[in-house]
Amino acid sequence: MEYIYAALLLHNAGKDVTEENVTAVLNAAGVEVQDARVKALVAALEDVNIEEAISKAAVAPVAAAPAAA
């Protein structure tokens, strides 16, 4: 989930979720960054409405199965 947390951190900070930014955040956290995963994350999130996903979470914190990220 580190990659997801990094994306949400950036999003919450009002920054763009770019490869560069995600990599910088992960590096700062001491994570050994895999470029392909960062690229996959950024590409995948292009089509995801983060705001909407977050508000879903705020409304109903229900049990959810974590999937690999």
Partner 1 sequence: MALYTHHLPRWKKDEVEEIKRGIEEHTLVGVVDMYGIPASQVQQIRRNLRGTARVKMARNTLIEHALNELGGSVATLNDHAEGQSALIFTNENPFKLFKLLEKTKTKMAAKPGETAPEDIVIPKGPTSFKPGPIVGELQQVGIPAAIEGGKVKIRETKTVVKKGEVINKKVAEALVKLGVKPMDVGLILQAAYYRETIFTPDLLAIDEEVYANNIVLAAQQAFNLSVNAVIPTRLTVAAIIGKAVSEARNVGVEASIYEKDIVDLIIGRAQREMLAVALAAQGRGFELDEATLK
Given the rule CB under 8 A, which residues bind partner 1? Answer: 1, 3-5, 7-8, 12, 35-37, 39-41, 43-50, 52-69
Given a copy of itself, partner 1, none, residue 45, with its beta carbon under 5 to 8 Å by kind, binds partner 1
Please state, in angstroms and as integers, the Cα–Cα distance from residue 38 to each residue in 1, 20, 34, following that order: 12, 9, 6
From 35, 11, 14, select the one nearest 23 (Cα to Cα). 35
Give, for 17, the enclosing helix (H) or strand (E). none
Where do contacts with a copy of itself occur on this chain (CB under 8 A)? Answer: 1-2, 5-6, 8-10, 12-13, 15, 21, 24-31, 34-41, 43-44, 47-48, 51, 53-69
